[in-house]
Amino acid sequence: MRVVATANLPIDLAAQVRAVLPAARVEVPVAGWTGLAALDLTAADALVCLLLDRIDAAVLARAPRLRVIANCAVGVDNIDLPAAAAAGVIVTNTPDVLTEATAEFAIALLFAAARRLGEGERLVRAGAWPGWRLDQLLGMQLAGKTLGVIGFGRIGQAVARRAGALGMRVIAVGSHEPVDPIFAAADAISLHCPLTPATRHLVDARRLALMRPGGILINTARGGCVDEAALADALASGHLAGAGLDVYAHEPAIHPRLLASPRAVLAPHLGSATTEARTQMAQLCADAVIAVLTGRRPANVVTR
């Protein structure tokens, strides 16, 4: 049996697989991440991959023996799930273990955008801080404000709990429900929905216009949920006071007008980037691979 991973994991995948299947061959890149294009998948029974790996019908066709794809992420928009199901390949993801990390990061971005932390840091580092001023970089106080949470699954609920503890009023909605009233009523919106055809550009120019002047948008979900050009317009016009973004439509590329916007706090997709979360995500992938290769049904199956 052969297990191929596109990335070096923070656990010893090879040792774990071989402890159960001593004859298994486990191919893990020596360092970092190896794009799928460079890998020979002909004999692969199991694949551990990252959200950077686009798995479509063409990739599946290169892996005729494949039985399981363990995606080291909760989002599975990088995988053509119907094509995987048609090929008889089980796809698993890594829910729960990254909930707290991602919720913490969404709140970090909310604070950073509301209190203009990026602008402040740039001012200091540029040696341009003239000293304390009464009217310097005034932001939005979060206590007493309304946070709109779009996508009320595990992460959305974890963000809501934290926002409540900050004294915010929380209004939440599933991404399949009408979202316009949330845009109209919230001072800040935080996205926690998966990227699907229905949620692509869920945040568009019309919905941004519905937001209160001075509103804030936080996105730790997927970049494709936001029309980035429309967001750049809303920031440039001053209609939105800020945005905290961790995800982008075409990572690692970032829309040039978002890059140029001083009011956008831009993070490099760090939502689940804690040692705890990433180690447990990798462990779930190893568990899924071992389960399938030993004839058991894995946890967290996302294919129908």
Contacts of 290 (CB under 8 A, 6+ apart): 16, 17, 20, 21
* Under rule CB under 6 A, residue 48 binds ligand DGY: no
Angle at 252 between CA 27 and CA 70, to 5 degrees: 35
* Under rule CB under 6 A, residue 55 binds ligand DGY: no
Q: Comparing C-alpha atoms, which of 169, 182, 167 is closest to residue 212?
A: 182
DSSP 93-149: ---STTHHHHHHHHHHHHHHHHTTHHHHHHHHHTT---S--TTTT-----TT-EEEE
Task: Tell me the three-class secondary structure of 175-209, residue by residue.
Answer: CCCCCHHHHHHCCEEEECCCCCCCCCCCECHHHHH
In the complex, the smallest distance separating the C-beta of residue 201 from ligand DGY, rounded to whole angstroms, is 18
Which residue, 6 or 146, has its beta carbon nearer to ligand DGY? Answer: 6
In the complex, the smallest distance separating the C-beta of residue 77 from ligand DGY, rounded to whole angstroms, is 8
Which DSSP helix (H) or strand (E) runs through 68? Answer: strand 68-71
In the complex, the smallest distance separating the C-beta of residue 276 from ligand DGY, rounded to whole angstroms, is 13
Q: Residue for token digits 């692969």?
A: 44
Return the residues of window 69-98 that contact ligand DGY according to CB under 6 A: 73-75, 98
In the complex, the smallest distance separating the C-beta of residue 70 from ligand DGY, rounded to whole angstroms, is 12
Taking the C-alpha atoms of residue 103 and residue 107, their distance in angstroms, rounded to an integer, is 6
* Under rule CB under 6 A, residue 285 binds ligand DGY: no
* Under rule CB under 6 A, residue 175 binds ligand DGY: no
* Under rule CB under 6 A, residue 223 binds ligand DGY: no
Contacts of 22 (CB under 8 A, 6+ apart): none
Is residue 255 flagged as an active site residue? no
Of the candidate residues 28, 39, 49, 51, the single one contacting ligand DGY (CB under 6 A): 51
Which residue, 36 or 168, has its beta carbon nearer to ligand DGY? Answer: 36
In the complex, the smallest distance separating the C-beta of residue 252 from ligand DGY, rounded to whole angstroms, is 14
Q: Which two tokens stand for residue 2?
A: 């052969």
Binding mask 244-273 for ligand DGY (x = CB under 6 A): -------------------------x-xx-
Q: Which of 222, 255, 263, 278 is catalytic?
A: 222
* Under rule CB under 6 A, residue 9 binds ligand DGY: no
Taking the C-alpha atoms of residue 60 and residue 63, their distance in angstroms, rounded to an integer, is 5
Which residue, 148 or 223, has its beta carbon nearer to ligand DGY? Answer: 223
Is residue 269 flagged as an active site residue? yes
Q: Which of 27, 54, 251, 257 is catalytic?
A: 251
Q: Comparing C-alpha atoms, which of 190, 179, 184, 167 is closest to residue 110?
A: 190
Return the residues of window 111-170 that contact ligand DGY according to CB under 6 A: none
Instruction: List, by residue number, the catalytic residues.
Output: 222, 251, 269
Interface with ligand DGY (CB under 6 A): 51, 73-75, 98, 269, 271-272
